[in-house]
Amino acid sequence: MMEKFNSSQPIYQQIVEKVCRMIVRNDIQGGEKLPSVRDMAIKLGVNPNTVQRAYQELERQFVIETRRGQGSFVIDDDTKKETLRNELKTQYVSLFIKDMQEMGFTPEEIVRGVKEYLEPSVVTKGGK
């Protein structure tokens, strides 16, 4: 498959995020087995060490669980998953808002812009 990775961020971090996104989207179910380090490395076209490091990080964050001799499994805990979901949300939201504010957009403009984009037909008055 050979993914494309940004050079501006460590590849292992990008793998971590990718797996998190897939879990949050339910592309991977709770309890499901992840591909082995070796398989994942081949699939992504990166060094197995890089995948290994990503899996370690995911385990440290209690996102996956590694069982010796069996493989790595997504934590089957809805509460944990909910937490992960929220973390991801906050992360993306904060990055977005940082960018927007850097460009000089006011909080009101940002909220309005998001609302308008989601419901283009609505005039979106009533803000505040």
Instruction: Give the shortest CB-20-to-its own copies separation in angstroms.
Output: 9
Spatial neighbors of 120 by CB under 8 A, at least 6 apart, are none
Among 4, 67, 68, 125, binds its own copies (CB under 8 A): 4
Binding characters for DNA, 43-72, by CB under 7 A (x = yes): ---xxxxx-xx-xx--x------xxxxxxx
How far, in Å, CA of 42 to CA of 44, rounded?
5
Where in 5-34 is the site for its own copies (CB under 8 A)?
5-8, 21, 24-26
89 part of the interface to DNA, by CB under 7 A: no
Instruction: Give which of its own copies, DNA, none residue 42 binds (C-beta under 5 to 8 Å, depending on kind).
Output: none
1 part of the interface to its own copies, by CB under 8 A: no
Positions touching its own copies (CB under 8 A) are: 4-8, 21, 24-26, 88-90, 92-94, 96-97, 99-100, 102-105, 107, 109-111, 113-115, 117-119, 126-128
